[in-house]
Structures are given as C-alpha cells and as structure tokens.
Amino acid sequence: MPNLSFEQIKDKFDRCVIGNYARNQVAFVHGEGSHVWDSAGDRYVDLMPGWGTTTIGHCHPHVVSAIQRQAGRLMHIDNSFYNIPQGVLAEHLSGRSFGGKCFFCNSGSEAIETSLKLSRLWGEKKGRFEIVTMNESFHGRTFGAISATGQEKYHRGYLPLLPGIKHVPFNDLDALKKTVGPNTCAVLMEPVQGEGGINVAGVEYMKAVRKFCDEQEILLIFDEVQTGVGRTCEWFGYQNYGIEPDIMVLAKALGGGFPVGAVVAEPEVSSFLAPGTHAATFGGNPLACAAAIAVLEVIEKENLLEEGRMVSQVTFERLEQMARKYNIIRQVRGMGLMIGIELEVNGKDIFEYCLQNKLRINCTQNNVLRLLPALNVPIDVLHAGLDVLESGIQKGGGAQI
C-alpha cells in the first residue's frame, strides 16, 4: 500500500467513498496492542478498538500468523463442501457455550437476520411469528436488524419496517409479560445494551425472563455481538447470569478484527435451518474461521478473561474516583470491559478533546462516553489514556466537587 498523507487519503474518500459515516479527520495506518498510529506517525491509546472488535489488541501475532498460514493454504471454499477451520471453530464455540450448533456469516447484522429467520422457522408450525425486543436496543443495520432495534432514529426514512416486531422497556418484566402473546415466537435482547448507552440487565430480571420464556415455550435470543467473546470477562455475557439462551448471536470480537459472524443455536432449534432455508457465500470461510480460532486460543492461552477482570477493576476504580471528583459525571456503569460514563452534559467536546490528545474512545446516546478496551491493555497504557480522559472531563466543564 502506498504511503499517503491525510489530505491524499481524504481526497480519495471525498471523490469515491459514499459519505454515510461521519468520519473524524484522522486516518489510521498501523495498530499494535492497545496503540494505533495515524498517517502522520502520531501514536494514540485505543480504548475503543474497532468499535469493540479487537478485544485482544490490534494485530496480535498469533492471529496474524494464523491468517497468513491459512491464506497460503485455502482462503475460500464454498459451503457445498466441508472444511477444517469451520468445523474446529464450531466445536470451540459449542464447547465454550451451551452445546449448540453454529451457523457462520460475516457480520453482526447478518447473524441477527439469521436468528430472526430461525425463530420464524421454529415458530411457523405453531403459527407464532412475533418477536419482542427491547427499547434502546441496537441490533444492526439490515432491514430485519433495524426493525428489531428499539430506537426510532434508526427507522427514519426506511418505513415500513419488517412486521411482527414489538418493543418493550428494558429491565421491565411486567412490560414483557404484557406484550408476549399467543403469536410470539421469540424474545431478543442484549445482556448489556452497548450502543443504547451501556445499560446492564439485572440478574433477577434475566433469570425471570428465562423462566418466563420457558413457561411460554418461546425462544430467548441473546444478541452477544458486543458482549460476546470475552468483553464482559466471561466467554459470553450470559455466563454472568447463570442462565442460557436458546440462540446466541456473535460477531465483532470473534474475528479479532477479521469479519466473522456466528449464530449458536440449541440443537433442536438449529435443526429448523435445514438445507435450502438459509445461506451465506462467505459464511464459515476457512480464512475467517482460522482468525476466529486464533482469537479464542489467545484468550485461553494468555488467560485473558482473568487479566480482563483485573483491568476492569482498575478501570472502574479510577473512573469511580473521577465520578467522586467531577460533578458532570452522573454515573459509571458496565460489566467487565464494557464501560459507560454517563455525563450531565453532551460528551462531544470531551470526545474531541480526547482525540486531539491521542486517545480513542466513543460517545453514544449524546452523553455516554463508552470504553471498550482490550482485555490485555497494559495498565500503564490504560492510565495514560485515562489521564487524557480526566483532563478532558475537567476541561469539558467538570468542576471539582
């Protein structure tokens, strides 16, 4: 790839790339661990790697060499044949979760679509087709996924949406009970809402939802696109709750930056995806699966769930200290390394201050700063990032209490 200046890169985007993203005025060219470098050679601390995809840091050498090896062996083979990496990855996911069977695709939205289609196939004979999802949820950008997403701003301009989807308030069992009816086939929810502002489902609520779905004989689907593969310092977010879903949806961290999506479904439910019902040309492609296997191996061999718990504790302690110090912090919340800092003010200025001072974070729902650091971010790098964040909060109007 040629070395280009930011202006040269931007010029290509301005002329040839559709402008559907509000891009910051930086181009990144290199990443290593919890650091990324821009086109001018400046180094940034990355506490929001790839919108939560690189939970083991950028360009982990084990993942890089697994991709290189597989690329030289067999990059792609279609799903009318078997291949080794897809089988091995499915075994890893099944064994680490609830013994389900896997379908592979390329993104979170596509995996959500699969889970919606699977629930409809499962419910068809009983005449059940309705899917209940949560307000403030985020499930992706395809038509089924935006229909499932409980935020009106993502629906604008796209009406009519997919019929048969109802939304209820999150963490509200009574509302769910009132909405589920004889036509309902599934409840879809994130254990921790990410884009919706880091809203954590309560333990009792989750257990009651599971019990209620069992009583009603409907499927419980967990969208673990953001919470899955170590993000909450368990393999999957639901493992913090002592219950299991019938269907789990994965993407983001699964490929460590390589595009991979997956649906894991309880074996009896999975049988409804019979030949001819659903497919993805690239799904379960050997290269993508080799990357995902390498990610899981790194998390296991380097004991990263344990390391993540330690990083999480250090991060929460530091942020809670800040919350005691600065009056614009309303609440610090989250689970594992999925962390939100809710502000009294819009977070845009703090976000921009951080970026100018070489720290990558995110701001969602206007006033929630979101951190999704790598499980293995070194503590000194973490503190360097949090030092920038703290001065951003101070400058953003956070008067000392």
Ligand X SMILES: Cc1ncc(COP(=O)(O)O)c(C=O)c1O
Q: Are 147 and 161 in contact (CB under 8 A)?
A: yes
Joined tokens for residue 3: 């070395």
- 252 as an active site residue: the answer is yes
Specify the residue, 223 or 234, whose C-beta has the smaller distance to ligand X. 223
Half-sphere exposure of residue 112, counting CA atoms within 13 Å on the CB side?
A: 27
Smallest separation (angstroms) from ligand X to the CB of 220: 15
Smallest separation (angstroms) from ligand X to the CB of 275: 25
Smallest separation (angstroms) from ligand X to the CB of 262: 11
Residues 164-203 that bind ligand X (CB under 6 A): 190, 194-195
* Distance between CA atoms of residues 48 and 55, nearest Å: 9
Smallest separation (angstroms) from ligand X to the CB of 127: 28
Half-sphere exposure of residue 196, counting CA atoms within 13 Å on the CB side?
A: 24
Task: Verify binding: residue 237, ligand X, rule CB under 6 A.
Answer: no
- 129 as an active site residue: the answer is no
Candidates 25-33, 91-99, 218-226, 305-313; binding stretch for ligand X (CB under 6 A): 218-226
Close Cβ partners of 72 (under 8 Å, ≥ 6 residues apart) = none
Task: Verify binding: residue 370, ligand X, rule CB under 6 A.
Answer: no
Which of 108, 257, 340, 392 binds ligand X (CB under 6 A)? It is 108
Q: Are 283 and 292 in contact (CB under 8 A)?
A: no
Residue type, 103: F
CA dist 252 to 78, 246, 312, Å?
Answer: 23, 20, 19
Smallest separation (angstroms) from ligand X to the CB of 53: 9
Closest-CA residue to 233 (of 311, 291, 316, 296)? 311
Q: Which of 104, 223, 246, 272 is catalytic?
A: 223
* Distance between CA atoms of residues 251 and 172, nearest Å: 27
Residues 130-149 that bind ligand X (CB under 6 A): 138-140
- 138 as an active site residue: the answer is yes
Could you give the string, one character per residue 30-69, with x where binding to ligand X holds by CB under 6 A and - elsewhere?
A: ---------------------x------------------
Task: Verify binding: residue 113, ligand X, rule CB under 6 A.
Answer: no
Q: Sort 286 into a burial class: Cβ within 10 Å, 0-12 / 13-18 / 19+.
A: buried
Q: Which of 104, 138, 170, 236 is catalytic?
A: 138
Specify the residue, 140 or 284, whose C-beta has the smaller distance to ligand X. 140
Is residue 383 helix, strand or coil?
helix
Q: Which residues are catalytic?
A: 138, 223, 252
**Residues lying near ligand X in the complex (CB under 6 A):** 51, 107-109, 112, 138-140, 190, 194-195, 223, 225-226, 251
